[in-house]
């Protein structure tokens, strides 16, 4: 009997969405609907030969992998996972497999946050339910400027939607050229200009040592007091302490955030009390079609491994 663990099944949908019957009767599936943390990760996962990780919520360090003597296959949702020590896994004889990834759901959520933040939708919804009527004024997007921090696959998908709203689109990233931006109908600008001129700044950047705190005090200070910051990429790309100060002191008008330094966001976190924020619990990728695609790939990964013909394997960088 092959024991399979699915982590962070918050919505309790793993068993329903995955075609697990394809694996036959010799597998035993356990879905954890609560997040495992600390020492309990190794303790609870020790019996399992296959573990399915939800994105980068659980760091699979060398220490943790060594504490899982039965683990032989680690599957991650998405095509890569910076929280998995792939080198250590290879040395320990643990295969690491991946799945596909859809950017559409993240782009859609980003625009949801832009609209909710700029037009104060959450505050107005709450006000209506409390018996009040019309107490905020939000800006039109039409005629404004969307500044994209990063112009990868997600950033490029943001641009045509912005143009449909009648927005000018600018972008900056470390290696972005004017020619590459122009090919997408986007104006490449300096980092300084992007933050100074944008009415909405949306972050779409890969997290690494060089990009940590990419948006800090200088960038937030440079923004208009009427501008909004949106982050659906990774929390540590934005200096969280600087952002809290910016929101409290009115350097910017507001922020829409789907990602945070610590997830789940601690109950006493100051962002929870700031009225000029819209906060979502890292659900950029949490959409029904995306999940269905992921669980199909997960079952295919396990099926291939069980048959001795593994698919979508991640290999050490070396």
Q: What is the pLDDT of residues 211-262, one digit of tens each?
A: 999 999 999 999 999 999 999 999 999 999 999 999 999 999 999 999 999 9
Give pLDDT, residue 229: 98
Least Cα distance to 20 among 50, 40, 43 occurs for 50
Catalytic residue among 156, 234, 290, 303: 234
Residue-wise pLDDT for 8-36, tens only, equals 999 999 999 999 999 999 999 999 999 99
Catalytic residue among 55, 120, 156, 282: 282
Report the CATH architecture of 104-279. Answer: 3-Layer(aba) Sandwich (3.40)
Q: Which residues of the chain have pLDDT under 50?
A: none
Catalytic residue among 108, 263, 292, 300: 263
At the topology level of CATH, where does 2-102+287-306 sit? Rossmann fold (3.40.50)
Does the annotation mark 234 as catalytic?
yes
Q: Is the pTM of this model over 0.95?
A: no
Does the annotation mark 263 as catalytic?
yes
Domain boundary assignment for the chain: 2-102+287-306, 104-279
Does the annotation mark 282 as catalytic?
yes
Give pLDDT, residue 316: 86
Same fold, 2-102+287-306 and 104-279: yes
Give pLDDT, residue 318: 58
């Amino acid at each position: 009997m092959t024991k399979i663990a699915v982590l962070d099944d918050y919505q309790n949908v793993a068993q329903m969405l995955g075609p697990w019957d394809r694996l036959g009767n010799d597998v035993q599936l356990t879905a954890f609907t609560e997040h495992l943390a600390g020492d309990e990760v190794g303790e609870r996962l020790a019996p399992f030969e296959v573990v399915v990780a939800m994105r980068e919520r659980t760091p699979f360090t060398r220490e943790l992998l060594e504490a899982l003597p039965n683990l032989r296959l680690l599957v991650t949702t998405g095509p890569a996972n910076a929280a998995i020590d792939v080198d250590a896994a290879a040395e320990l004889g643990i295969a690491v497999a991946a799945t596909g990834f859809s950017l559409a759901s993240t782009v859609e959520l980003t625009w949801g946050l832009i609209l909710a933040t700029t037009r104060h939708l959450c505050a107005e919804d709450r006000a209506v339910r409390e018996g009040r009527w019309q107490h905020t004024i939000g800006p039109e997007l039409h005629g404004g400027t969307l500044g994209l921090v990063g112009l990868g696959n997600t950033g490029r998908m943001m641009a045509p939607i912005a143009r449909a709203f009648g927005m000018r689109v600018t972008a900056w990233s470390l290696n972005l050229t004017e020619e590459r931006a122009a090919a997408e109908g986007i104006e490449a600008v300096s980092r300084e200009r992007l933050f100074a001129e944008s009415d909405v700044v949306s972050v779409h950047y890969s997290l690494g040592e060089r990009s940590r705190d990419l948006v800090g005090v200088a960038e937030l200070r440079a923004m208009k007091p009427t501008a909004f910051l949106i982050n659906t990429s990774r929390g540590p790309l934005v200096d969280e302490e600087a952002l809290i100060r910016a929101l409290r002191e009115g350097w910017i008008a507001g922020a829409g955030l789907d990602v945070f330094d610590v997830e789940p966001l601690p109950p006493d976190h100051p962002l929870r009390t700031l009225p000029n924020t819209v906060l979502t619990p890292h659900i950029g990728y949490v959409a029904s079609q995306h999940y269905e695609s992921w669980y199909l790939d997960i079952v295919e990964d396990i099926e291939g491994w069980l048959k001795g013909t593994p698919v979508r394997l991640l290999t050490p960088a070396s």
